[in-house]
Amino acid sequence: MTPLENSLYVASVAPVLAIVVSTVLRPAVSARWNAILLALSGIGGVVAGAYGAVAETPFTMAVPMFYGMTIALDRFSAIFFLGISLAIAVAGLCALSQIGKHHDAGNVRMLGILGGLLVVSLQWTLLAGNIIGFVTAWATMMLAAFLLQRIVRNTAETTGLQFLAIAQVSTIAIASGLFVLSSGALFSDFGTLAYVAGQLSVTNLIVAYGLLFLGFAAAMGAFPFHRGFISAVTHVPAHIAVLFRGGLSGVALYGFIRCILFILPPLSIWYSLPVAVIGALTMLCGAFCALNEKSVQRIVAYLSVSSIGLTALMVAGAMAFQALAIYDAMNVMLFAAFIQLTINVIATSGLFLVADVIGSDLHTSGGLAKTLPKFTITTFVLLFGTVGFPPSAAFTSIWMAGSTFQAMFSSAPVAAIALLVVGILSIFLMIAAILRVIIGVFFGESRGGVDARVSEPSDAQLAPIVLLALLTFVSGFALPQLLVSIGADPLTDSAGTFNGGIVTAFGTLRMGTIGLLVLGIGGVKWYFRDSILERLPSFETIEKWRLSCMNRMSFGSKFTKLWNGALEKLRR
């Protein structure tokens, strides 16, 4: 067996063993083994994805037990297999730090079984070489995700119904879209599907595109499906939340890009407009809701939703550049979208663990910077990495997307300016949200009436948070260049050559240098933190400012007043 086959074997067998372990062993023992096997599966997947990205020919294998089922790992799917496996490894790391928390012995068995089933279905969705394999793996993935959030004791009934609706809409829409594209031949491989899709009428092509866009957007948690995504993420243990955030969103992004670039015929630039609109609404909605939340965990979840919107905007830009035949800019956008997705999974995973340690909302916290300095600095790195401060790879991703602004402006100036305004406003709201968390949780005094400060995290809890913070910190230096070196340059085989400039050894070093300069200034400021803390506004003052801004931006209440006034005049 080749190294790719060996690593792929480890990645695929480990979650199956986790299911067996959860079924056979006692819950106290199986919880630890499940976490270890989850991390092992992720590591094997990262290695398999790296080998698949540099392989000259795609890896394919027929499954003899199922007629027509094939496993395929080409260059494009290998890159996403690497990213999803990284999320699985991070989930295993989070699970190790959470053994015995969030779930009693009665739920440990089902969490292990369904968690392993979710990982297997995530992998097979990426490995499926034909339509029936993809649809089957997708349906299994959504079913496992629904059952996972339902078995948690503190999950409300409405949350389960919301996620069930999302799962049903997503699965039915994707299966229907692929059925239309294939003209009913669901056992066809993706190469045949691309040929058949090229012969479709314009009407069928529009219907298939709309169904696929609806299905993948629902699974990503894009607007207006974000409520179900938030409810699911905030009611499950941290390692399951990581699988939801990195797994479901990553596989949905993979499926949508594969359909757009590899299956559908060349599309008009107008097909990118719905993706751009939904991405902008998702980014704004996530940032605005994060600023208006009290729970730290929900703030992190909404920041993650905003990042999903930003990723969708980058994909829309890639679609537009493909329609304009500007392939270098298209590849820059695809590269930026993948980096944004990957680094946000790492940063938000750490923040989910941080929220689990804090265990309270903003109105009952305060003063943690004095009692937990290491925990505070680690959290700052994760928060700033989520928003896109240098030197994290999120900053590199935003910089890469911004480097294509001139090409976008020359082709569609109105759309370019609108996206720029939306992006700046969303980033401003996200920064305001994390500053509210920083001042509310880590500075000032406790506001709970009693000593509401959290206790010092144990080494088992702090170690994965520190590791994820280090990965976030060095990602801007290492991640883009690593992806280029393993063959993610470009992400597609037939889309021209990559000429982005920023994803080079010099470009990555330049971005990292800017980040170090910013952190150096921040370090000097932190050295004189006593004088700075005296100048910071109190949390109560910040809340007054926030509520004042929210009242001024409450268009719904203003519209209601105007409507009531108009009705009163009519009655007179």
The model's pLDDT over 249-277, given as tens digits with 9 standing for 90+, comes to: 889 888 888 888 778 887 888 888 899 89
Task: Report yes or no: 133 and 79 within 8 Å, Cβ to Cβ.
Answer: no
**172 in any annotated domain:** no
Q: Which has the closest alpha carbon to 94: 275, 357, 282, 344?
A: 357
Residue 173: the pLDDT is: 92
DSSP per-residue string spanning 363-418:
GG---HHHH-HHHHHHHHHHHHHHHT-TTSHHHHHHHHHHHTHHHHHHH-HHHHHH
Tens of pLDDT along 465-500? 888 888 888 777 776 666 666 554 444 443 333 333
More confident residue, 364 or 384: 384
Give domain status of residue 348, yes or no.
yes
User: What's the pLDDT at 330?
Assistant: 82
Q: With CA atoms as reference, report the closest residue to 253 among 334, 172, 171.
A: 334
Confidence label for 570 from pLDDT (cuts 50, 70 and 90): very low
Specify the higher pLDDT residue, 567 or 328: 328
Give the residue, 60 or 114, on which the prediction is more confident.
114
Q: Residue 357 has what pLDDT?
A: 76
Give the pLDDT of residue 211: 92
pLDDT band at 109 (very low <50, low <70, confident <90, very high): confident
Is 305 part of any domain?
yes
Rg over alpha carbons for the chain, rounded to the nearest Å, is 24
Residue pLDDT, tens place only, 297-348: 888 888 888 888 888 888 888 888 888 888 778 888 888 888 888 888 888 8
pLDDT at 560 over 70: no
pLDDT of residue 24: 85
Residue 509 has pLDDT above 60, yes or no: no
> 101 vs 57, 148, 393, 430, CA distance in Å?
45, 16, 31, 30
- The answer to whether residue 199 is domain-embedded is no
Residue 251 within any structural domain of the chain: no
Instruction: State the average pLDDT over residues 341-363.
Output: 78
503 confidence band (pLDDT: 50, 70, 90): very low
pLDDT of residue 186 exceeding 60, the answer is: yes
> Which of 102-111, 143-152, 371-380, 386-395 bottoms out in mean pLDDT, i.e. has the lowest?
102-111
Q: What is residue 495's predicted lDDT score, i.e. its pLDDT?
A: 33
Task: Identify residue 340 by its one-letter amino acid code.
Answer: Q
Question: In this predicted structure, what is the pLDDT of residue 555?
Answer: 45
pLDDT at 540 (0 to 100): 58
**Beta-carbon count within 10 A of 251 CB:** 26
Residue 505: what pLDDT?
A: 41
Is residue 511 included in any domain, yes or no?
yes
Domain that holds residue 334: 277-536
Reported as a pLDDT band with limits 50, 70 and 90, residue 548 is low
Cβ pair 189, 124 in contact under 8 A: no
Give the rounded percent of residues in the chain with a pLDDT score beyond 70.
75
What pLDDT is stored for residue 66 in this prediction?
Answer: 58
The answer, yes or no, to whether residue 372 has pLDDT greater than 70, is yes
Cis before 490? omega within 30: yes
Percent of the chain with pLDDT over 90: 4
Q: What's residue 156's pLDDT?
A: 54
Average pLDDT value for the chain: 76
Q: Average pLDDT for residues 508-519, to the nearest whole number?
A: 58
Q: What is the mean pLDDT of residues 270-291?
A: 87
**Domain count along the chain:** 1
Give per-residue pLDDT as tens, 199-257: 888 888 888 889 999 999 888 888 888 887 887 787 778 788 888 888 888 898 888 88
Q: Does residue 244 lie in a domain region?
A: no
Which residues pair with residue 459 across a beta bridge?
none
The arithmetic mean of pLDDT across residues 148-169, rounded, is 72
The pLDDT of residue 552 is: 57
295: β partners: 361
Q: What is the pLDDT of residue 483?
A: 64
522 pLDDT tier (thresholds 50, 70, 90):
low
29 domain-assigned: no
Residue 109 vs residue 283, higher pLDDT: 283
pLDDT at 516 over 80: no
